[in-house]
Each structure stands twice: as C-alpha cells, then as structure tokens.
Structure 1
Amino acid sequence: MKKLGRNKILILGVVLGGIGGYFYWKEIGCITGNCPLKSKWQRMVPYGMFTGYIISDLIQSYWKRFKRKGEIPTR
C-alpha cells in the first residue's frame, strides 16, 4: 500500500493520459483512416497513457529533487 501512495502522481498521470488520448482520438483523430496512430482509439489510448506516464514521471522527479534540497521552486 505504501507503493501506491508513493506513485499516486504516476498513476494519476497514466489515467489522465489515457483520457486525453481518447479525447484526442474523438475530437482530432484521423477522419480518413489512413493515419496509423490516430485512426483507432485502441492505439491512441495507450499512446496517451505512455505520454502521461512520461510527463508525470518528469514532474515527480523534479518535485522530489527540490523537496530533498528543502526548497520548492517558485517564480
């Protein structure tokens, strides 16, 4: 259960990425069907999940690095 708590940002990123991939396919996706990636939702949702994982992993590592130093970046 501790692993789930530590990885909640990654899980949230994967879920939001999957939802984003579905809506990208629904609203912007390929109309003609000739686009190999955007023509089917079964391909676009995992691609969105992967993208969400990469972005949330970057955010999590950035946050941990500054939290470890004791300073949260502000503008």
Structure 2
Amino acid sequence: MSYFRQYFWRIVGALLGVLGGFLYWRFIGCSSGSCPITSNPYMSMFWFGLIGLLLGSSNKKGEKRVDRQE
C-alpha cells in the first residue's frame, strides 16, 4: 500500500495522459497518416502518457528543497 501512496500522482498522471492521447488520436488525430505521433494510437497514447507521468511526478508535497550555497 505504501508503494501505491508513494507513486499515486505518477500513476494518475500517466493514466490520464494515456486516456488523453487516445482521445486526441480519436477525435483530432492525423487523417493523412503523415504525422508520426498522432497517426498511430499507440504512439499517441505512449507520448501523452509519458507527458502525464512527468507532470504527475512534479506534484510532490512535503519534500523540502535544499539549496546549497558554495
């Protein structure tokens, strides 16, 4: 359970990104097939999921940033 709590926002961000990638491919996508990301649903879902994962991992509460002065 602690694993799920630790990575909750990353998992949610990735799942929302995958869903967003699918919806983008389905409703907006590239009809000609010349777009490398949006012409294929798997590539669209992969890249949007990766972006969602990165955005979800940026939401960390409770960690203090320590700036070192040299």
Shorter chain as denominator, the TM-score bin is 0.7 to 0.9
Structure ranking higher in helix proportion: 1
SS of residue in 2 equivalent to 1:35:
coil
- 1:49 corresponds to: 49
Paired amino acid for 1:39: S
Measure the CA separation in 1 of the matches of 2:62 and 2:49.
22
> TM-score, normalization: structure 1?
0.77
- Length, aligned pairs only: 65
1:3 positional shift: 1.3
Instruction: Find the counterpart in structure 1 of residue 38 from structure 2.
Output: 38
> 32-41 or 1-10: which moved more?
1-10
- Asked if 1:27 is matched to 2:22, the reply is no
Quote the Cα distance in structure 2 between the aligned partners of 1:35 and 1:53. 23
* Aligned CA distance change for structure 1 residues 28 and 64 (closer, same or farther; 3 Å): farther
> Which whole-Å CA distance do the structure 2 matches of 1:64 and 1:51 have between them?
23
State the 1:64 CA deviation. 3.1
How large is the RMSD of aligned CA atoms in angstroms?
A: 1.6
| In 2: Cα distance, 1:7 partner to 1:13 partner | 10
The structure 1 segments of at least 4 consecutive aligned residues displaced by more than 6 Å after TM superposition are none
Where does residue 7 of structure 1 map in the other structure?
Answer: 7
Partner of 2:62: 64
Give CA-to-partner distance per residue, 1:11-44, whole Å, 9 cap, x none. 1111001000000111111011111111010110
